[in-house]
Amino acid sequence: MGTRRAARELALQALYQLDVAGEEEADAGLALFWSHFEQPPEVQRFARELVEGVRAERARIDRLIAASAEHWRLPRLSRVDLAVLRLATFELLARPDIPTAVTLDEAIELARRFGGEDSAAFVNGVLDHIARTAAGRVKADGAE
């Protein structure tokens, strides 16, 4: 398994843990979470970057997901699907060095591996919309 894939899996698990435990205990919960996983430094570094990025941009990320998940309110989404969507949306917004296709493929694989029967298709549809929306914003911002 590649470094970034391992980091994404670790980040997904951390985001799921945060969602289950709640933000009140987030810092303590994350410290405990990270202490239980011995990973190479590059895996830990990328996983932490993803988790902290999602935490910092969560309101913006959740607005994009809500706008793209037609007929679905965030509380109705499975926690795994929501964690995958948050992770990939952060990557789409904040990591232009990672090709969009890679981010989408990795998110679909995470959804397939950890989510339910329809998770991969759902995640693909929502992220495709977010990717097109985010690309339009970047172009518009660059044109100014």
Which structural domains are found in the chain, ordered by start? 3-143 (1.10.940.10)
* Distance separating alpha carbons of residues 73 and 91, to the nearest angstrom: 22
Nearest to 51 by CA among 33, 64, 25, 66: 33
Tens-digit pLDDT profile for residues 88-126: 999 999 999 999 999 999 999 999 999 999 999 999 999
Q: Are 81 and 19 in contact (CB under 8 A)?
A: no
Identity (one letter) of the amino acid at 14?
Answer: A
Tens-digit pLDDT profile for residues 13-46: 999 988 887 777 777 778 888 888 788 889 999 9
SS3 of the chain: CCHHHHHHHHHHHHHHHHHHHCHHHHHHHHHHHHHCCCCCHHHHHHHHHHHHHHHHCHHHHHHHHHHHCCCCCHHHCCHHHHHHHHHHHHHHHHCCCCCHHHHHHHHHHHHHHHCCCCHHHHHHHHHHHHHHHHHHHHHHHHHC
> Which residue in the block uniquely carries the two structure tokens 């980091």?
7
Q: What is the pTM of this model?
A: 0.88
